[in-house]
């Protein structure tokens, strides 16, 4: 039975717990975590924790691969946008060691990391997405309100509603590498989707983001809406996804319109799992070579989640997590 490695684990304690529960259902295995910070909550949630460099470091993949081999990991789950393409381009190295990396192809991860390119490609393919502009492309007389954010940003950092030309001029200089989008007025949704290794959707669960804090759902509910489910299926037909993906959209005039796609687990995935769509369990079954039948629409409708903060307490002299110093990968593979 596979051990699982969750990278950039940070605050993703619920995801670690969900994989631990799935491993228990399957009979054995443990969750390994990596992070850049020894005080990340997730480091305290697993006895198998390793410090690694940032994913931009030239040795990042070498270190993660050596950890995965040393811990007899069979499944690697990248969790942040910055590292998705890094893993996608290195997937063959893990495959050669008998390790599945749950990541979409590099063409998909690169496209989705680019908020402008994502929406323009979806619109080209006939899928409803926000009209998006770079500074030179803006209309001479734009219709307000608008929305601005970093082209390659995440977590709602640097994202602002723009009410007039004065604000537009200011935020075009204030936001790094900005992309401007039409303002989508309507309820906001995240659609969690899990795809198999061929890109076939296995589960699609829309969630309304009723209260959002720091870019992550604070209160929300599952919504069994055919329009949202069909939108996710259309995205899976247009772009090649593997593993977890979340699609963010708003309902505008009775039609869902996408403003970004993240080919990774969402922050609100605990609600999707609790509703009966056990993405970690299905993911482990896929990695084990089992056939997992699609279960589109098989989840509890109108299940609410309301979040609260939890704390981990650690004695200062017990923070001794050392960086992993791997042997050369050729010695451990």
DSSP codes joined into one string, 238-280: HS---EEEEEEEEEETTEEEEEEEESS--TTHHHHHHTT--HH
Give the CATH number of domain 131-182; options: 3.40.228.10, 3.40.605.10, 3.30.1490.20, 1.10.510.10.
Answer: 3.30.1490.20
pLDDT of residue 107: 98
Under 8 Å between Cβ of 305 and 271: yes
Beta-strand runs (E) in the chain:
3-6, 31-35, 49-51, 73-77, 100-101, 132-133, 146-150, 160-162, 178-182, 188-195, 201-213, 216-222, 243-252, 255-262, 304-306
For the chain, what are the domain ranges? 3-103+312-332, 131-182, 185-306
How far apart CA 116 and CA 106 sit, in angstroms, is 17
pLDDT of residue 333: 34
For residue 143, give the DSSP letter.
Answer: P
pTM equals 0.92
How far apart CA 321 and CA 315 sit, in angstroms, is 13
Spans in the chain with pLDDT lower than 50 = 327-333
For residue 133, give the DSSP letter.
Answer: E
pLDDT of residue 46: 86
Tokens of 217: 């759902």
pLDDT of residue 319: 65
How far apart CA 286 and CA 292 sit, in angstroms, is 7
pLDDT of residue 310: 83
Report the CATH fold assignment for 3-103+312-332: Rossmann fold (3.40.50)
Region 185-306: CATH code: 3.30.470.20
pLDDT of residue 323: 62
| 25-59 per-position pLDDT tens digit | 999 999 999 999 988 999 888 889 999 999 999 99
Helix, strand and coil content of the chain, in percent to the nearest 5, comes to 35, 25, 40
pLDDT of residue 152: 93
């Amino acid at each position: 039975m596979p051990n699982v490695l969750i990278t950039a684990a940070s605050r993703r304690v619920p995801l670690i717990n969900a994989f631990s529960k799935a491993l228990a259902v399957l009979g054995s295995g443990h969750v390994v975590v990596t992070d850049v910070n020894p005080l990340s909550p997730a480091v305290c949630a697993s006895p198998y924790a390793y410090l690694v460099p940032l994913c931009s470091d030239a040795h990042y993949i070498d270190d993660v691969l050596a950890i995965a081999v040393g811990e007899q990991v069979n499944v690697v789950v990248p969790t942040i946008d910055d590292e998705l393409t890094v893993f996608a381009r290195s997937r063959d190295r893990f495959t050669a060691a008998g390790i599945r990396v749950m990541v979409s192809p590099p063409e998909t991860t690169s496209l989705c990391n680019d908020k402008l390119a994502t929406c323009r490609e979806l619109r080209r393919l006939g899928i409803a997405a926000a009209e998006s502009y770079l500074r030179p492309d803006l209309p001479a007389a734009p219709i307000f309100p608008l929305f601005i954010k970093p082209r390659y940003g995440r977590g709602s950092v640097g994202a602002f509603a723009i009410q007039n030309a004065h604000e537009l001029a200011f935020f075009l200089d204030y936001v790094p590498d900005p992309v401007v989008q039409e303002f989508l007025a309507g309820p906001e949704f995240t659609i969690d989707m899990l795809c198999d290794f061929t890109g076939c959707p296995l589960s699609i669960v829309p969630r309304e983001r009723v209260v959002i804090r720091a870019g992550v759902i604070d209160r929300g509910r599952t919504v069994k809406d055919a329009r949202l489910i069909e939108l996710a299926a259309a995205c899976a037909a247009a772009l090649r996804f593997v593993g977890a993906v979340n699609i963010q959209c708003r309902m505008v005039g009775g039609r869902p319109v996408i403003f970004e796609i993240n080919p990774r687990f969402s922050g609100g995935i605990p609600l999707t799992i609790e509703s009966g769509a056990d993405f970690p369990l299905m993911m482990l079954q896929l990695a084990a070579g089992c056939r997992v039948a699609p279960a589109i629409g098989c989840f509890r409708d109108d299940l609410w989640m309301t979040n609260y903060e939890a704390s981990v307490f650690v004695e200062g002299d017990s923070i001794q997590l050392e960086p992993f110093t791997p042997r050369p990968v050729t010695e451990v593979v």
